[in-house]
Structure formats: structure tokens, C-alpha cells
Structure 1
């Protein structure tokens, strides 16, 4: 189990918190074992319903990277580059 907390807002509903946490769990999975692009895209779409603003997304992604060392930005960027049906997996050494 991870020893950090996810960046969440107390203004979000329980379901919105679940959607955001599931997205960040998916980011972790991409780094740990990989994930199907379609599944990640579904979770990202739910995340974007909670956090529609690009500025807020960047802020939350930065907070997540600070506590986890994992880049949600790189995961989303790679997801957008891949085609439907492909697996996405990243190494945590993204120099």
C-alpha cells in the first residue's frame, strides 16, 4: 500500500472523490504493470468531469507527482498518443 494521500478537495462529492482516486490508482498501475488504454481513458474522462479546468488539472497533477513521484501528465500524454486497444506502460525513470 502507498504511503501518501491523493490530492482531493473537500468540496467534491463522495462519487467525485472516488472517480479522482480511481484515476490516480490507474496512473500508478500504468507505472507498475501497465493498463489498457481504453480503461485509462474511461477513468480520465470521469476525472475531467470532476476537474474540467486545465489549470486545476495541472495543479492536482503536480501535487500528485510531489507525493508519489509519478507523472500523471506523462501518462495522459502517452494515452493520447496511443491507439484504441493498445496497452500503456511507463517506467518511473522518465528523464
Structure 2
């Protein structure tokens, strides 16, 4: 990993850690898979910290630009996945 996670310096340490955990869950979906529940738990916490759509798009867009991993695509996959299923963006 040769990139940094997009963060807002107004967040608390706990919030920053939780946002990083969300981005790590996106990475996990692409690299080895993650359960729908694990991903959605991280996403729900991310949305508590970043409730606005514009800020969410800005942060996830920066992350995708740096990493190549789309949180939008994994979120769409999670929304249609069965409970208990594993999300994977591997080819």
C-alpha cells in the first residue's frame, strides 16, 4: 500500500480510526473478501462520522483515486447480497 487514507483533521482519534477501518474493509473486499455484515457495520459507523453525501463522495473518491478500490461498487454489491454472504471484488 503506497497511499494514505483521506481523513479530516477535525475528527477525533476514535473517529479517524473508524474511518480508516471502513477503508480497510473496502480493501479487504477487493483483496480477500469480507462478509456483508462486517462491511455494513464499518459502513454504518463511517456514515455516523460522515453523514453528508457530498463529503462521503469526496472522501471515497479520493480513496478510489489513490487505491483503485471503489467503495461505491462494494456498497452496491453489499446492498443486493444475501445475509451472511461474502463480498468479494476479486476477478
Q: TM-score, normalising length from structure 1?
A: 0.92
Q: How does 1:4-23 map to 2 (within 5 A)?
A: 4-23=3-22
Aligned length: 91
Which runs of 5 or more residues in structure 2 are unaligned? none
Q: Tell me which stretches of 4 or more aligned residues in structure 1 moved more than 4 Å.
A: none
Match of 1:40 in 2: 39
Match of 1:65 in 2: 64
Deviations 1:45-74, CA, capped at 9 Å, x for gaps: 110000001111111111001100110110
Which runs of 5 or more residues in structure 1 are unaligned? none
Structure 1 vs Structure 2 CA RMSD: 1.0
